[in-house]
Amino acid sequence: MKKNMPYSTPDGYFDELKDRLTVVPELKSRINLTPYLALAASFMLAMLAGNYILMKTTASQPASDDEIVEYLIDSGMTLAQLEDEVYNY
């Protein structure tokens, strides 16, 4: 450092810092399982979310009156056939 900053450090700080930093390679070389666990957890979450969405979208819901009317019109049923169906049910 060229110009003095108005700061100091604890006694022996830089020796202690060097000792601490030279351990970094040893710490980082241990196998890190975290990324693999994170990947597995993401996959599980995606599976669960997909399953939930699938269940929700295919669940049967009662048709509304409008939907029934539209269905009958689309089916090409005549009024006579419809009355026949309704009264003979």
How many C-beta neighbours within 10 Å does residue 77 have?
14
Sites for another protein among residues 17-76 (CB under 8 A): 17-18, 20-22, 24-25, 28-29
Q: Which of 12, 14, 56, 58 binds another protein (CB under 8 A)?
A: 14
User: Is 3 an interacting residue with respect to another protein (CB under 8 A)?
Assistant: yes
CA dist 82 and 69 (Å) reads 11
Question: What letter does residue 22 receive in the DSSP assignment?
Answer: T
User: Is 89 an interacting residue with respect to another protein (CB under 8 A)?
Assistant: no
Least Å distance, CB 37 to another protein, is: 19
Q: How many residues bind another protein (CB under 8 A)?
A: 19
Judged by beta carbon, residue 13 or residue 36, the one nearer another protein is 13
Least Å distance, CB 36 to another protein, is: 17
| Dihedral of alpha carbons 49, 53, 54, 55, sign | positive
Return the SS3 of 28.
helix
